[in-house]
Amino acid sequence: MPHAIRFHETGGPEVLRWEEVEVGAPSAGQVRLRQTAVGLNYIDTYHRTGLYPVALPSGIGLEAAAVVEAVGEGVTELKPGDRVAYAGGPLGAYAEARLMPADRVVKLPDSIRDETAAAMMLQGMTVEYLIRRTHRCQKGETVLWHAAAGGVGLIACQWLKSLGVAVIGTVGSDEKAALAKAHGCTHTINYRTENFVEKVKELTGGAGVPVVYDGVGKDTWDGSLDCLSPLGLMVSFGNASGAVAPVNLGILSQKGSLFVTRPTLMTYTAKREDLVTSAQALFEVVGSGAVEIEINQRYALKDAQQAHRDLEARKTTGSTILLP
C-alpha cells in the first residue's frame, strides 16, 4: 500500500504521521497519480497548526509533480503516462499516490523537470497573480517584498527584475541578503538588525513605495503601512510570523487613503482558464531562463516533520521539496 503523511490533531511538526493509505480507482472526473516530487509551502504549517482549520484527520500539502496512472470516466484531456503537476485542490499532496480532480491538474512541458515543477507551481503561480493581477507591476516602479530570500521571494525578485521593476527586499540574515541580490533583488534590508521603514524611506527619497507585498504578517503589518506612498496598496498575502491582528480601518485614511487586499491563489486560479494561463506564464518565464527555481532543501517525504521544523525556524531559503 502507498504511504502518505497525515495528521489526526493540530499542533507542532510532531503531529505529522507517516501512514499507509488506500487510494483506490479514480471516480468520474478524477485522476490517480503516482507522485514523483512534492512541494513544501508555508501554508502547510497553517493547516498543521490549525491557523487555517481543516476537518481531521486530514492529509496535508497542496503541490506536487506526478505521473498519471489511471483516469476516471469523462476525463479526456489526460491519459495514463502523462507528466503533470498541480498547486491547490484537496489537501493530501504529501503522498506517494493519490486521487485528484482532473481539472486541477496541468500537463508539464518537457522542458520542466518534475522536481522543478514540485518546487515552483504554488509559489510561482502566486507570484504570477500577485505581480500581474493583484497589482499590475510596471517597468520603472519600486516595490517592497518581505522575506525576499524565501520560496515566493526568490521567484518574485527574478520575475520582477525581468519586467524592469526594482525590488526592495527584506531578509533575516546577511547570507539571505546576498542570495536575494544574486536573484535580482535591487536593495536588501536585514529587518532583524535594521529599521525597514526608515530604510525604505531613505531608498525612495522619502516617497515610499506604491505597493508592499507582505507574506510575513503580524510582525511587519504596521511597518508595511508606513512604507506606502499615498493611495498605495498593501498586499497582505501570508502570516509566516503569525496572523495580522484585527485592523481599525481608520488607519488606512490616516496613512494616506491606502488600499488593502488579502488575496489567495485559490481565488485567482478557481477558474480552469485562470489556472492554465497562470501555469503557462510560469512555464514561460522558467523556460526562458528569466526565472530559475532554486531548490535549496530536499527531504525524504517521510521526514516531513523535519522539513516543517526547518521552515518555521527560518532555516530554509528558496524552495523545498519532499521526495516520495
Our finding on whether 152 is near ligand NDP (CB under 6 A) is yes
Which range in 40-48, 54-62, 70-78, 253-261 contacts ligand NDP by CB under 6 A? 40-48
Residue 249 has φ and ψ, to the nearest 5°, of -55, -25
Task: Please report, for the chain, how many H helices and E strands are present, in that order.
Answer: 10, 16
CA–CA distance, 39 with 265 (Å, rounded to integer): 15
Our finding on whether 269 is near ligand NDP (CB under 6 A) is no
The correct pick among 126, 204, 224, 305 for binding ligand NDP (CB under 6 A) is 126
Residue among 106, 88, 94 nearest 31 (CA) = 106
The correct pick among 215, 223, 232, 324 for binding ligand NDP (CB under 6 A) is 215
Q: What Å distances lie between residue 321 and 96, 141, 204, 284, CA to CA? A: 13, 33, 37, 21
Provide, rounded to whole angstroms, the least separation between the CB of residue 137 and ligand NDP.
16
Our finding on whether 64 is near ligand NDP (CB under 6 A) is no
SS3 call for 200:
helix
Our finding on whether 176 is near ligand NDP (CB under 6 A) is yes
Our finding on whether 41 is near ligand NDP (CB under 6 A) is yes
Strands, E, within 23-147: which ranges? 30-40, 58-59, 63-71, 83-87, 97-101, 106-107, 142-145
**Closer residue to ligand NDP in complex, CB, 102/157:** 157
Our finding on whether 90 is near ligand NDP (CB under 6 A) is no
Q: Using CB under 6 A as the criterion, which residues of the chain lie in contact with ligand NDP when the complex forms?
A: 41-43, 122-123, 126, 147, 149-153, 171-172, 176, 215-216, 219, 237-241, 263-265, 311-312, 314, 316
